[in-house]
Amino acid sequence: MTLKVPSLADLSSLEDDLSYSLYRESCYDLEGIIYRKVKEWVTKDPTLAPSLLRLQYHDCVVRGCDASILLDHEGSEKTSNMSKSLRGFEVIDDIKAEIEKKCPKTVSCADILTTVARDATVLAGGPYWMIPYGRKDGRVSLAKEASIVPKGSESVTNLIEFFQSKGLNVLDLVILSGAHTIGKTTCESVQHRLYDYKGTKKPDPSLDPKYLNYLRRKCRWASENVNLDGETPNTFDTQYYHNLKKNMGLLSTDQMLYSDSRTKPIADGLSFQSSLFKNQFGVAMVKLSSILDVVSQDEGEIRTDCKYVNH
């Protein structure tokens, strides 16, 4: 099977509203300010890198990339059950405060979050990609809308349909799932695979037995955390795809990518091609960060504090 691999040139249609040179004059050294701050935080706590990448994903799949996940009020996306394990908000606040000093009322929180996710990926050993700017900050954030974010127990068909509804394809699904090469998840999201798979009172038969024993020891409590990549959890590499071949995908949505004929050939191909994975990860992230909701953008603003809409 030959993969039809899109290039950054194919994405130009998405970016009609976004520009690579937007802040060149209005906020010189924006990317330098952000990178230095992210590096400072991630050096102190390397586990923040995957968390910041995840924050961007949760933002973009709900109302587009409009920083609605950052709004902190009763009933906002941030208060949803789906968002309870999100972290890294203080990094964004720190960066925003610094940027407001240098370029007040100029750079949106949505553009900051997008850049932070890229820099966190780079600092974890992942690829660099160019970011087009011009996202507006949304004024609406509703907890109930955050429930659409996949939880890790969906079918591959559900995932493909969800991604398609956001303008992303099967290749993007398999590539972006590869972000699980770093980071952790809560044991709560895997316990059904360990003890009571689909109501059988038995573990998921597709789990490697040794890995199952390891996870049962590691996940005695639902509140514990466990590495998404059990082999090289702190390295941005293709090990995630190798794990799937060994039945060591942590979430059922990870492992199912290797049992579905629409996704398996892609996962297989990526496991052998580190440079292809890293290159395509950048392409997929540009697509993800270019999901724009018409209402959020038309009625959007540039927040002066990422936690609150402007008054």
Which single residue is written with the structure tokens 């955390």? 225
Is 237 annotated for ligand binding?
yes
Greatest Cα pair distance, the chain, in angstroms, is: 62
- In a 10 Å sphere around its CB, with 0-12 CB exposed, 13-18 middle and 19+ buried, how is residue 32 labelled? exposed
Rounded distance between C-alpha atoms, residue 91 and residue 101, angstroms: 16
Is 232 annotated for ligand binding?
yes
Is 150 annotated for ligand binding?
yes
Rounded distance between C-alpha atoms, residue 104 and residue 106, angstroms: 5
Is 68 annotated for ligand binding?
yes
CB atoms within 10 A of CB 49: 26
Coil, helix or strand for 133? strand
Rounded distance between C-alpha atoms, residue 235 and residue 124, angstroms: 6
Which positions ≥6 away from 309 have C-beta within 8 Å? 71, 137, 139, 301, 303
Cβ(162)–Cβ(183) below 8 Å: no
Coil, helix or strand for 183? coil
**Could you confirm whether 311 is annotated as catalytic?**
no
Q: Provide the 8-state DSSP code for 226.
A: E
Is 170 annotated for ligand binding?
no
Is 311 annotated for ligand binding?
no
Catalytic option among 58, 73, 242, 311? 58
Is 181 annotated for ligand binding?
yes
Is 242 annotated for ligand binding?
no
Nearest by Cα to 82 from 56, 114, 51, 58: 58
- State the binding site for heme b: 180
- State the binding site for substrate: 150
- State the binding site for Ca(2+): 59, 62, 64, 66, 68, 77, 181, 229, 232, 237
List the catalytic residues. 58
- State the binding site: 59, 62, 64, 66, 68, 77, 150, 180-181, 229, 232, 237
